[in-house]
Chains A and B, each alone.
Chain A
Amino acid sequence: MAFKYYYEYLQPENAPEMPEDKRGDEELDEITQDEQRSRAQFVNIAVLTLTLVLCAMIVFVLRKNDYSRVTDEKTLDKDSFVSGEFFGSLEDDVVSHLALSDQIVRTDDLMSYFCGIGNKLMKSEEEDISSQTGGAFRDRQENSLPGRQEHNEGGEHKVVTRVSSDEDDTKQTKKTKKTKATTTSVTKSVKEMTSTTTQYGYYTTTTTKETEETTTTKATNHNAPSVTTKVTTAPTTTTTKPAPPPAANTSMEDAATVTKTQSQTKTQTQTQTQTQTQTQTKTQTQTQTQTKSETQPPADTDAVSVTGESTPDAPSPTEQDEPQEPQG
């Protein structure tokens, strides 16, 4: 009974109907939306953090070796610490001792399907494209393009890291720099060729026709198209080689790459910093040959060069003076 009176007290008879408060509903909607938003943010943070942790574990925890020795050559001492070589080699070491390196390469291949149609661009072609310097817009008579050199090393950002030249630099110095870049490319290619060949069996056939001065690069991989590029080298050699794998990133996308490239090839580039171009070219060719002898497939291994360079078996002094570039 008491409830009855209470109810009447709240809603007496003949009382006007109270209007519904729309503000309450709006606020309720806002709260619901806020809740949804917060939930979405939480999921976002959780998923991205977990992904980051997973990546970090794959890179730093799952390793083929431990951290007691960073590399075969670099150990932590005063000199390597002060010069920064120790730190520079840490990342190389981490990358080279990844336990899941095959899976990462496969993941990268798989992911590249998201970038385009059919994933037709093989890594070897990427390498070819990346290693192109010069081309149709290059002035062969002047043989020097101040802006171009700067651009190839990374444009406005990498200019900062560039060891760049004074305007009065001689031709020889400029040539030296170009040769240096080529060497890096070649070394990386050969180095990477090892893993690609053994893992995936990519083979690249390089044929040079004397009359047309044309290099035909043909990859026998599942879906890679053949690419024809012209080279400046004297066309004397017929070569079959394993295709170079993931491209050495010489683009301007990333400053890390420049510094990385420098540090990766540090031991090699110590000789390259000498100003004598020919000596330097010899050194790099020798290094390349040594690496090749370790990585060559059992057959068809006469002379190998990603950039169309001839090996010491058939050297050409005039060619060695010029940076080896696909042209024409």
Chain B
Amino acid sequence: MVYTDLFFLLALLPLSVIFSFFDESAEYKNLISVIAGAIFVAWGRPLWVLLIFLSFIFDWGMGLLVGKFRQSNKAASVIFLMLDMLWNAAIFILYTRGGAVHLPDKLTLRESLIPLAMGYYVLRAFSYVFDVYKGEKAEKNPLYLLTYMLSFHFMMTGPVIRYKDISAQLRERRTTGKMISDGLDNIVFGLGKVVILAHAFDLLKQSGLEGGDVTFFGCWLGMLAFFASAYFTLSGLCQMSMGMGLLTGFTYKKNFDDPDSKLLFTGLVKGYNTSVTDLFDEMIVSRFRYKTVPCAIAAFVCCMAVAGWYSFSKPAFLVGAIVGAVIVLEKLVWGKKLRAMPGLVRVIYLVVLTFLIFSVLYFGSTYGWRKWALGLVGVGDKGLISHQMKTVLLSYLFAYIIGVICYLPWLKDQVIRSVNKLSKKTKELYTFVNTSKTILKALLLIMCVAAIITRKM
């Protein structure tokens, strides 16, 4: 099951939230979360729940062992940590990168409905044991850990919540009216990002990059739309996840930082799916933080690891290597100089690097990439814009404008500030603005559900 399934959105999610209100105790709420999470995982393939339970028992045991030996026998705790890493890596490769290794057909779950979450699942599982190794207390009560591992709002595409950040909330949490309201808002906005914006940008990408002719705007806007589509898909799912967390009393920090040119390319990369990059950073780079050269090497290795986690393919590793190299160079060579330059220069630097590096993920071959890169400067173009792209642009114009507003922080702040300013003028205006917002959110929800149904017809 995924967040945009009708059964999840209109049945499992509301029912689990309603049931969780029947009792105030955290234990009861945890039980509901575990049951709902098991249904969520088991929907496509019921036997998958067994794997999740097996994995949970292993991680729980490893956590206890690492916690026990971390003081008395460091070597033993390292061995257990490595064992857990191997175990999770094996699950990860087996169930999400089946094509990358030669495995018998029976071992690769080719049509599984769950693997989308497995990358995040194993990362979360390993992060728990890693935190225990680093000094956090090992969890003795399996139900708390099971809630952490199995709850559907931790399940999909991040953020990768660390157990140390959430363990207190697993023991005691309350849901307020504000949390429910914000949670619903987050779910609706996240759904809108995934169903409307990502789809609109995907169509733009296809009209620009997958049409018959190379056009100038096709190259620029098509690639921009490719990035936007990926961004809105992930950030939308994360926002939904946070909304679901709020509905059940969990709060956690957001997973996508606003772009800031002062942080350069390093900041841009780290700001995308921050919980994942932070975890890899902590595991690989943190111990070399104060040594320049080892830190740079570790940053490079970290980029390769993140790339491998995202996609176990040659283009991904190539992109990882280039990103790692740029980060190292920013750290050692031109970072300080660039920060001192005007904002426009930094923005151009970021746009050029982002376009040239991450586009490799799209093309995967030098032929297409070279043709596209030449098309960016007008070489080989058969015009400015194709008819299809024009049609798509007009048809989704408002969606693109909203997408741009959502992405650019200063523009988003400006809009929010002006709306707030308006609502504060009088009591009537406050009511009017808030009612309008609510109606728009309800319309957005209807729009998303109708779009999901229509696309599945």
Contact of B364 among A41, A130, A146, A266 (CB under 8 A): A146
Interface centre among B112, B157, B211 (most CB of A within 10 A): B211
Chain B's closest residue to A112 (CB) is B395
Which residues in A have their C-beta under 8 angstroms from that of B99? Answer: 162-166
A147 and B365: CB pair below 8 A? yes
Q: Hey, what's the 0/1 contact readout for A121-138 against B, CB within 8 Å counting as 1?
A: 100011001101111111
What is the bound-complex CA distance between A205 and B304, given in angstroms? 50
Q: Hey, what's the 0/1 contact readout for A159-197 against B, CB within 8 Å counting as 1?
A: 111111111000000000000000000000000100100
Report the minimal beta-carbon distance from A198 to chain B, rounded to whole angstroms.
13
Q: Hey, what's the 0/1 contact readout for B393-405 against A, CB within 8 Å counting as 1?
A: 1111111000000
Known: A132-B211, A164-B99. A48 touches B188 (CB 8 A): yes
A257 and B455: CB pair below 8 A? yes
B446 and A255: CB pair below 8 A? no
Report the minimal beta-carbon distance from B93 to chain A, rounded to whole angstroms.
12
Chain A's closest residue to B400 (CB) is A116
Contact of A262 among B111, B310, B435, B456 (CB under 8 A): B111
B96 and A160: CB pair below 8 A? yes
Which residues in B have their C-beta under 8 angstroms from that of A294? Answer: none
Cβ of B363 within 8 Å of any chain A Cβ, yes or no, is yes
B119 and A160: CB pair below 8 A? yes
Report the minimal beta-carbon distance from A47 to chain B, rounded to whole angstroms.
5
Contact of A105 among B314, B391, B454 (CB under 8 A): B454
B115 and A91: CB pair below 8 A? no
Known: A47-B439, A225-B391, A252-B230. A101 touches B457 (CB 8 A): yes
A52 and B395: CB pair below 8 A? no
Q: Hey, what's the 0/1 contact readout for B376-404 against A, CB within 8 Å counting as 1?
A: 00000000000110011111111100000
B199 and A253: CB pair below 8 A? yes
B116 and A118: CB pair below 8 A? no
Cβ of B14 within 8 Å of any chain A Cβ, yes or no, is yes
Contact of B177 among A41, A92, A115, A142 (CB under 8 A): A41
**For chain A, what secondary structure do more than half of its interface residues adopt (helix, strand, loop), or is it mixed?**
helix
A48 and B445: CB pair below 8 A? yes
What is the bound-complex CA distance between A165 and B454, given in angstroms? 32
Q: How large is the interface on A (under 10, 10 to 19, 20 to 34, 35 or more residues)?
A: 35 or more
Cβ of B267 within 8 Å of any chain A Cβ, yes or no, is no
A253 and B233: CB pair below 8 A? yes
B438 and A47: CB pair below 8 A? yes
Cβ of B341 within 8 Å of any chain A Cβ, yes or no, is no
Within 8 A of A (CB), among B79-117: 96-100, 102, 108, 110-113, 115-116
Cβ of B181 within 8 Å of any chain A Cβ, yes or no, is yes
Where the two chains meet, the residues of A that have a C-beta atom closer than 8 Å to any C-beta of B are 36, 38-45, 47-49, 51-53, 55-56, 59-60, 81-84, 87-88, 90-92, 94-96, 98, 101, 104-105, 107-108, 111-112, 114-121, 125-126, 129-130, 132-139, 141-142, 145-151, 155-167, 192, 195, 225, 227-230, 245-249, 251-257, 259-260, 262-264, 266, 326-328
8 contacts between A and B (CB under 8 A): A55-B445, A56-B11, A116-B395, A132-B211, A139-B368, A155-B229, A159-B313, A227-B387
